[in-house]
Amino acid sequence: MYLTFNFSTSNYSNLSDADSLRVEELTHRSVKISIIIILGVMITLGNIAVLLVITSSVAGWSRNSRYFLLSLTAADSAFGLLVMPLNLWVSLLKDYSEGPDTLCHVVAFCNATVYSTCMYTLATISLERYIAVFYPLQYSTLMTRKRTLLLIAFTWCFPLFLLSPITFPDGIIEVHFSTASLVCNPSYSSNVAYTLSLTCLIFFPCSIVMTYANLRVWCAAKRQRLKLRKYGCALSNRHNVAARVLVPVMAAYYTCWTPCMAVMIYCALSRSSVPEWIEFVVVWLPTSNGFLNCVFYFWINKNFRRKFHLILQRLALAICPELADAFGWSNTSSAQFVSGILDNSMVHERTSSVSSTCTLLSLA
């Protein structure tokens, strides 16, 4: 009688432990899904606002600059409109207790392609800025419309070719659904050579181009600022545009992308995994760069904010005139505002502009 009672208590204890682990797992899962959804909404809304502005003329932004920035906006929007919904759908509706399938390979391919395209696009923007600053007279020859579109096509098509092996279920790369990060992840330890080649062809080249181009532009802006200050052409309390833009851009890039690449290389070489929450953070951290790009490339630009304010006025006047009147956005004031913006755009629209991030002339 005593042994039977003891056995029942032991089973009850084991069931309680299993239930506690299950509740904890569901709690972690709910928190992760909430974080992903909030991040996806922020990225989507931020890039929709950006798209509304840069599809029209913005003072100081050339046609080529808008092409590159549109490409960046499309890549960042894919985080919120493609990567997050696909992985959430897989995590909520699919049961991966039996292992990966073709769908998970396709989702993993989409994830890797969007990540790679974003990095390539950031590198091409830095390259365009570098050419505009150091070769302004040759800019129209070096950065023709055809070459600009070819560069953009490369940033979108080359990752498709480079990452195509991930799509094959019986290929050189295994894919599994990770319950830690809620993502269809390639098992990079299954092919170390391929993993290292990806980092050598994507992350490191893009990082080198971005670092070199932005560092050169920042140094040039600093030298010009010192010269202007020396001859009394610049106020001492004038904001340092280069430091305010280029430094945060590079800091955000390395903060978001380096941990992910480091963990990927570590897992491939050591053939081991990292703790659950570390994996979740490093996998989803690069997507936050899609929102930070909206802040650093667009919202700190005065011309962008003015144009967005104009668009809000137009939408308010078209949808809800009463709301426009409440904010003082009358038809007369809006028409004057539109005229001023368009005149300013025609004056500042130039072929060799330095996009929205660092125009050396603005330091004067």
pLDDT of 1 reads 46
Q: What is the dihedral of CA 311, 312, 315, 321, to 10 degrees?
A: -130
Rounded CA-CA distance 212/216 in Å is 6
Average pLDDT rounded to a whole number, residues 118-130: 92
Tokens for 38?
């909030």
pLDDT of 149 reads 94
312 or 234: which carries more pLDDT confidence?
Answer: 312
> Any idea what the Cα angle at residue 284 is, between residues 158 and 66, rounded to 5°?
50
Q: How confident is the model at residue 17 (pLDDT cuts 50, 70, 90)?
A: low
pTM equals: 0.79
Q: How confident is the model at residue 167 (pLDDT cuts 50, 70, 90)?
A: confident
Helix and strand tally (H, E) in the chain? 13, 2
Q: How confident is the model at residue 228 (pLDDT cuts 50, 70, 90)?
A: confident
Average pLDDT rounded to a whole number, residues 50-73: 80
Average pLDDT rounded to a whole number, residues 278-304: 84
SS (H, E, C) 231-297: CCCCCCCCCCHHHHHHHHHHHHHHHHHHHHHHHHHHHHHHCCCCCHHHHHHHHHHHHHHHHHHHHHH
Q: What is the mean pLDDT of the chain?
A: 77
Range in 138-142, 156-160, 223-227, 257-261 with the lowest mean pLDDT:
223-227
pLDDT tens-place string over residues 28-46: 888 989 999 999 999 998 8
Give percent of the chain with pLDDT exceeding 70. Answer: 74
Rounded CA-CA distance 192/350 in Å is 47
Question: Measured in Å, how far apart are the chain's first and last C-alpha atoms?
Answer: 92
pLDDT tens-place string over residues 305-361: 777 778 777 776 766 666 556 656 555 444 444 444 444 443 344 334 434 344 443
Beta partners for 185? 176
Task: Classify domain 27-300 at the CATH topology level.
Answer: Rhopdopsin 7-helix transmembrane proteins (1.20.1070)
Q: How confident is the model at residue 99 (pLDDT cuts 50, 70, 90)?
A: low
pLDDT tens-place string over residues 45-55: 888 888 888 77
How far is residue 42 from each of residues 112, 151, 287, 291, 312, measured CA to CA in Å? 21, 28, 11, 7, 18
Rounded CA-CA distance 285/181 in Å is 11
Q: What is the dihedral of CA 328, 333, 338, 344, to 10 degrees?
A: -110
